[in-house]
Amino acid sequence: MAVRRYRVEGEVQGVGFRWYVREQARALGLAGWVRNEPDGAVVLVASGEAMALDTLERVLTIGPQYSTVSNVVRRELTSFDAMGLPTPFLIER
């Protein structure tokens, strides 16, 4: 199992980005959460199989219709960070 934190920058708020991430992550069987940041970015933490996380990362670079992703920053976390991550994947408010 792998755990990753992503910060997605660009036009990613107000365009259904969190919903898009939640649906993609659930389809990939990932645990975790996604939320908007005050600076306009979207941040998420996801855990699951490394291949599923690689797929999610590719999805993040594309985004839903009407979004424009300018940067995706990935940080590897430890399995300790996966403790308590919600399943199914959810949107934090």
Is the pLDDT assigned to residue 25 strictly greater than 90? Answer: yes
CB within 8 Å of 73: residues ≥ 6 apart: 6, 7, 9
Is the pLDDT assigned to residue 62 strictly greater than 90? Answer: yes
Per-residue pLDDT tens over the stretch 2-23: 999 999 999 999 999 999 999 9
Is the pLDDT assigned to residue 53 strictly greater than 90? Answer: yes
User: What b/e string do you get for 12-27 counting C-beta neighbours within 10 Å, with b at 16 or more?
Assistant: bbebebbebbbebbee
Report the catalytic residues: 18, 36
Query: pTM to 2 decimals?
Result: 0.95
Total domains, the chain:
1
State the CATH number of the domain containing residue 56: 3.30.70.100
Residue span of the structural domain in which 65 resides: 2-91
